[in-house]
Structure 1
Amino acid sequence: MSSDPWGRVDETGTVYVRTADGEQVVGSWQAGSPDEALAYFERKYEGLVVEIGLLEKRVRTTDLSAKDAQAAIQHLREQVEAHHAVGDLDALRKRLDQLVELVETRREERKAQRAKQSDEARRAKEELVAEAEQLAASDQWRAAGERLRALVDTWKGLPRLDRKSDDELWHRFSHARSAFSKRRKQHFAQLDAQREEARRVKERLVGEAEALSGSTDWGPTAARYRDLMAEWKAAGRAQREHEDELWNRFRGAQDVFFAARSSVFAERDAEQTENLKLKEELAEEAEKLLPVTDLKAARAAFRSINERWEAVGHVPRDARPKVEGRMHAVERALQEAEEAEWRRTNPEARARAAGLTGQLQAAVDKLKGQIEQARAQGNTARADKLQRELDGRQALLDQALKGLQEFGG
């Protein structure tokens, strides 16, 4: 008979293991000596020790699911309970019990981690939705459109929430994008409609101008051409591809008429030369209105100059483009000043610009705080991700601030 602290072999070759509940039969051994029997079943025990150790390591260091871990524990427990090994089986039971507790702890930790990640994803998506809903009201078509596309990319990079929450947030996000796209489409459709209407009006004016180009009824025809020019200016701009062509035809028809009239009234050349001097003086007087410092006074002065200009009459044809160009340049500068003044004093546009700027500034400040917190916690990956988002927000904020400056503040 042979024995060790954890087991023994009796005279019949039966192997026993000692446990807290007394001896348990391990098996029968007839193939060799009792020492060999104990050694064989001790190796069985060491095998269980190794398997339990490996499972403990997997539970601690990998993402082994609780279900798989519990199945592995149960499998090992069955082997321990089968008493087919010689060693401290009670210690193995204790380790398996502790492993059960560890699996539960790890399961709770992963559950908490998933909950935290879900909360972070929810907050991130809610922020994206809030920003998208703000952008939906923007008139900065290009900048807001690019930002909305960037928000979609950010959304795609975030994990999904529970189906109901994710669908609700996505519905709001998608609705904001659709609202912006609809407003942008309506804006450009209205712009296209206005330009198309201008094209139709100008084609009618060109047709009449060309029909009048051969007239010899000098006074009434010249007066009608002046009326046509006023209608032309009031019509607004047509599409770019039509505007220049229509203008060349319109101006060409007038040139034909006035050239014919000039040939008939060649004796008026001297008068036209004098007119040129007067218009050059008026152009110089108009140019002194620039740069515009007092828009109201400048408009009044330009109207006065323009009335005198219209009263002067024609100038030599070859000199007309240059002197008229000088007056047109002043007129364009006044129009630009009027547009700038309108934008600066438009309370609705200013309020939108200020509101968007405030929201963007708050978002930038918040991101900076989150980046500092992430770096303080050593979470470089999150800090880098937040920094990329901050760069996008900062670029949009800079554009919004630049736009707000145009309102004078």
Structure 2
Amino acid sequence: MSSDPWGRVDETGTVYVRTADGEKVVGSWQAGSPDEALAYFERKYEGLVVEIGLLEKRVRTTDLSSKDALTAIEHLREQVDAHHAVGDLDALRARLDKLVELVEARREERKAQRAKQSDEARQAKEALVAEAEQLAQSDQWRAAGERLRALVDTWKGLPRLDRKSDDELWHRFSHARSAFSKRRKQHFAQLDAQREEARRTKERLVAEAESLSGSTDWGPTAARYRELMSEWKAAGRAQREHEEDLWNRFRGAQDVFFAARSSVFAERDAEQAENLKLKEELAGEAEKLLPITDLKAARAAFRAINERWEAIGHVPRDSRPKVEGRMHAVERALQEAEEAEWRRTNPEARARAEGLTGQLQAAVDKLKGQIEQARAQGNTAKAEKLERELEGRQALLDQALRGLQEFGG
């Protein structure tokens, strides 16, 4: 009989292993010596030790699933419980029990981690849905569209939730994208309609602008072009492929008209500048008549100057008041001289002036006599009253005398 600390072989060749529950039959060995039998079953034990060690390493260092790990543990436990090896089988069972505890702990950790990841994924997807629903109301079509596409990529990178929750959130997310797309299509459809209406309006404006380009009715046509420009701005933009061509035609028609007007106005301005020069010379010639000493000769000379003046065309508007004012000043001087001459030579007016002067002189002389008489009588109050009346009559007499002097008296 042969034995070691964990097993023995009896005289019949039966191999036993010692356990905490007593000896267990390992098997029967007839092929060799008892030592060879123990060595064989000890190698079987070492094989189990290696397998358990490898499984422990896989559980600790890889992502071996809990289900696969427990299946492997049960397979090894069945081999240990079969008692087909000689060694400390109880120690192997203890290692397998600890390994089960480790797998269960790892499963709980993974469960908690998955729960955490699921909660984070739920929060992330709810945030994506909230942002998408907000973007669905945006009018920033390009930026919002690009952002929604980015949100889809972000969504695809997130873990799935339970089917119900994931489907509900995806439905809201998809609905927000669809709502935005619908609003964007409506906006651009309306924009296209507006641009088509703007194109028709601007084609009408271009046609009118081109029809006016040859007009020589400068003032009204220029005013109409200003109105057409206001209508053009109010019409909005046409489609890009039409807008530039329409504008070039519209602007070109205006340029033709205003270039022609500028050419005509330039000729007119040059002519009016020459007219101004001629009128300034005539104004200087008229001013040489002042002061007037010979009314008849001055009147004849001014009439001749004025005839030449009238024969000259327009002058620049901003220069007109000054040059015309010079002629008017000479004309007023002639009128004043004529009025003075008329007053001096009018017999009726002279007679009226002399009569009035005589009456006032007689009244003044009379008052002076009355004042002397009142003072001689000692009637001071009456004398003072008459003196005040005398002052008024004297003032009238002085005025009448000045008027009489104008008649050469």
Q: TM-score band (shorter)? A: 0.5 to 0.7
How many residue pairs were aligned? 409
User: What displacement does 1:221 show?
Assistant: 5.3
1:16 and 1:24 in contact (8 A); partners too = yes
Distance change (3 Å), C-alpha of 1:377 and 1:55: farther
291-300 vs 3-12, greater mean Cα deviation: 291-300
Partners of 2:386 and 2:39 lie apart in 1 by: 61
Distance change (3 Å), C-alpha of 1:290 and 1:340: same
1:212 and 1:257 in contact (8 A); partners too = yes
Distance change (3 Å), C-alpha of 1:222 and 1:43: closer
User: What displacement does 1:119 show?
Assistant: 0.9
1:147 and 1:396 in contact (8 A); partners too = no
Give CA-to-partner distance per residue, 1:94-126, whole Å, 9 cap, x none: 222232222222222211111111111111111
Distance change (3 Å), C-alpha of 1:100 and 1:140: same
Give CA-to-partner distance per residue, 1:304-342, whole Å, 9 cap, x none: 999999999999999999999999999999999999999
Partners of 1:24 and 1:8 lie apart in 2 by: 10
Partners of 2:371 and 2:103 lie apart in 1 by: 34
Partners of 2:377 and 2:108 lie apart in 1 by: 23
Give CA-to-partner distance per residue, 1:319-372, whole Å, 9 cap, x none: 999999999999999999999999999999999999999999999999999999
Distance change (3 Å), C-alpha of 1:195 and 1:381: farther
Partners of 2:26 and 2:385 lie apart in 1 by: 60
Distance change (3 Å), C-alpha of 1:223 and 1:100: closer
TM-score scaled by structure 2?
A: 0.60
159-168 vs 303-312, greater mean Cα deviation: 303-312
Give CA-to-partner distance per residue, 1:62-112, whole Å, 9 cap, x none: 211122112212211221122111112222222222322222222222111
Distance change (3 Å), C-alpha of 1:323 and 1:400: same
User: What displacement does 1:15 show?
Assistant: 0.9
Partners of 2:191 and 2:41 lie apart in 1 by: 91
User: What displacement does 1:140 show?
Assistant: 3.0
Partners of 2:271 and 2:258 lie apart in 1 by: 15
In the alignment, which residue of structure 1 is the partner of 2:364? 364
Q: Looking at CA atoms only, which structure, 1 or 2, has the larger radius of gyration?
A: 2
Partners of 2:396 and 2:46 lie apart in 1 by: 66
1:134 and 1:356 in contact (8 A); partners too = no
Distance change (3 Å), C-alpha of 1:132 and 1:25: same
Partners of 1:237 and 1:258 lie apart in 2 by: 25
Partners of 1:173 and 1:46 lie apart in 2 by: 59
Distance change (3 Å), C-alpha of 1:163 and 1:238: same
359-368 vs 161-170, greater mean Cα deviation: 359-368
| SS at 2:120 equivalent | helix
Distance change (3 Å), C-alpha of 1:241 and 1:29: same
Give CA-to-partner distance per residue, 1:150-204, whole Å, 9 cap, x none: 3222222211212221222122222222333333333333333322211110101
Higher relative contact order (CA 8 A, sep 6+): 1
1:205 and 1:232 in contact (8 A); partners too = yes
Distance change (3 Å), C-alpha of 1:362 and 1:353: same
Distance change (3 Å), C-alpha of 1:109 and 1:17: same
User: What displacement does 1:141 show?
Assistant: 3.2
User: What displacement does 1:238 show?
Assistant: 2.3
User: What displacement does 1:253 show?
Assistant: 3.1
User: What displacement does 1:218 show?
Assistant: 6.4
Partners of 2:238 and 2:259 lie apart in 1 by: 27
Give CA-to-partner distance per residue, 1:121-161, whole Å, 9 cap, x none: 11111112222222222333333333333322222221121
Distance change (3 Å), C-alpha of 1:195 and 1:106: same
In the alignment, which residue of structure 1 is the partner of 2:201? 201
334-343 vs 103-112, greater mean Cα deviation: 334-343
| SS at 2:138 equivalent | coil
Give CA-to-partner distance per residue, 1:278-323, whole Å, 9 cap, x none: 9999999999999999999999999999999999999999999999
146-155 vs 41-50, greater mean Cα deviation: 146-155
Distance change (3 Å), C-alpha of 1:202 and 1:74: same
1:314 aligns with 2:318: no
In the alignment, which residue of structure 2 is the partner of 1:96? 96
Give CA-to-partner distance per residue, 1:189-234, whole Å, 9 cap, x none: 3333322211110101222333344556667655554543342232
1:138 and 1:352 in contact (8 A); partners too = no
335-344 vs 38-47, greater mean Cα deviation: 335-344
271-280 vs 184-193, greater mean Cα deviation: 271-280
| SS at 1:87 equivalent | coil
394-403 vs 207-216, greater mean Cα deviation: 394-403
174-183 vs 12-21, greater mean Cα deviation: 174-183
Partners of 1:371 and 1:12 lie apart in 2 by: 195
| SS at 1:351 equivalent | helix
Distance change (3 Å), C-alpha of 1:26 and 1:57: same
Segments of 5+ residues of structure 2 without an aligned counterpart are none
Distance change (3 Å), C-alpha of 1:121 and 1:98: same
Partners of 1:155 and 1:393 lie apart in 2 by: 116
Distance change (3 Å), C-alpha of 1:355 and 1:382: same
Distance change (3 Å), C-alpha of 1:2 and 1:392: farther
| SS at 1:8 equivalent | strand
206-215 vs 366-375, greater mean Cα deviation: 366-375
| SS at 1:16 equivalent | strand
41-50 vs 220-229, greater mean Cα deviation: 220-229
1:143 and 1:396 in contact (8 A); partners too = no
In the alignment, which residue of structure 1 is the partner of 2:388? 388
293-302 vs 162-171, greater mean Cα deviation: 293-302
